[in-house]
A = this chain, B = another copy of it.
């Protein structure tokens, strides 16, 4: 295998763009309430550390996303900031902050909060796939054990 540094750099830029496009599917899927699109980028056995319990679970199924979306009226808006993507060979990882805004089903008013998202990807049969994702808020270590849903980037 022989590649020039210039080719390597161009490949890395293309890979980073591909990973960023894949991560952008999240906002699009939530905006359009498309459960199939929401899970399309995940490997079958991806390990998910989600905002809500349990600690971790294997796989990200469209049925689960559909049930979750049913809890909200209209589009769920995801905004991302401070996204950093690192790629090398057939691995990549990304971290950033996301704001979710939504209106609970039947509610008069919506809510929004910022959380952290870390995504780990692997190129499998030529396609980037999410093999691990970790989303969370911190919690207040003041004895209240409240989730810190009031933080700003």
Contact = CB atoms under 8 A, between A and B. Distances in A.
Interface of A: 1-3, 47, 49-56, 82, 84, 86-93, 95, 97, 114-116, 118, 120, 122, 131-132, 134, 136-141, 145-149, 151-153
Nearest to A1: B1
A49 B136 contact: yes
B145 A149 contact: yes
Given A52-B140, A53-B138, A47 B151 contact: no
Q: How many copies of this protein are present in the complex? A: 2
Contacts of A55: 97, 114-116, 137-138, 151-153
Among A47, A97, A153, chain B packs the most CB atoms within 10 A around the CB of A47
A87 B146 CA distance: 35
A122 B134 CA distance: 19
Contact of A88 (B51, B89, B138, B145): B89
